[in-house]
Every structure is written in structure tokens, then in C-alpha cells.
């Protein structure tokens, strides 16, 4: 399949402690997605892979990240 999937649905992030954040999302309808790679970026750094998962999920990572992205594969 060469169609680029749309963005994940219902993305939200909730701080659960000074060092942890939960990221939750759902797969958009109409696409076959193997999984999502969640990455975060700290100040001045490059993106680091936090977790890879399929479907709807929750990731726990560092709350001092100043950017995050979720990529489908």
C-alpha cells in the first residue's frame, strides 16, 4: 500500500508525574497500520524512540521533552 495514512485520532498527552507522560491515540479508520513509533525530543537534542506499538496505546516517557511525534508504519 502506497497511501500515506492520516494522523492518529484522539491523540492526548497527560503528565502523570514530573518525569512521566502518557500518550494515547487511536488508528484512523480506513488504513492498515502495522504500528506507531513514538519519539520525543529534549532541548537541543534529536528525536529518541520511546516505544513502538500497534493500535491504541499508552507510552510513558520523560515529561521534560519539548517535542513529540507519532509516526505510522
The band of 61, judged by pLDDT with boundaries at 50, 70 and 90, is low
Which pLDDT does position 59 carry in this prediction? 61
Task: Report the percentage of the chain scoring pLDDT > 90.
Answer: 0
**DSSP characters for 6-42?**
PPPEEEEEEEEETTEEEEEEEPPTT-----EEEEEE-
Does the structure show a pLDDT above 80 at 11? yes
pTM score of the predicted model? 0.61
Q: For the segment 25-59, what is each residue's pLDDT rounded down to a tens digit?
A: 887 788 777 777 888 777 777 777 877 776 655 56
Amino acid at each position: 500500500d502506497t497511501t500515506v495514512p492520516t494522523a492518529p485520532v484522539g491523540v492526548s498527552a497527560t503528565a502523570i508525574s514530573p518525569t512521566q507522560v502518557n500518550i494515547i491515540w487511536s488508528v484512523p479508520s480506513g488504513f492498515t497500520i502495522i504500528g506507531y513509533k513514538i519519539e520525543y525530543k529534549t532541548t537541543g537534542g534529536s528525536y529518541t524512540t520511546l516505544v513502538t506499538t500497534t493500535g491504541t496505546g499508552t507510552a510513558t516517557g520523560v515529561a521534560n521533552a519539548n517535542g513529540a511525534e507519532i509516526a505510522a508504519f
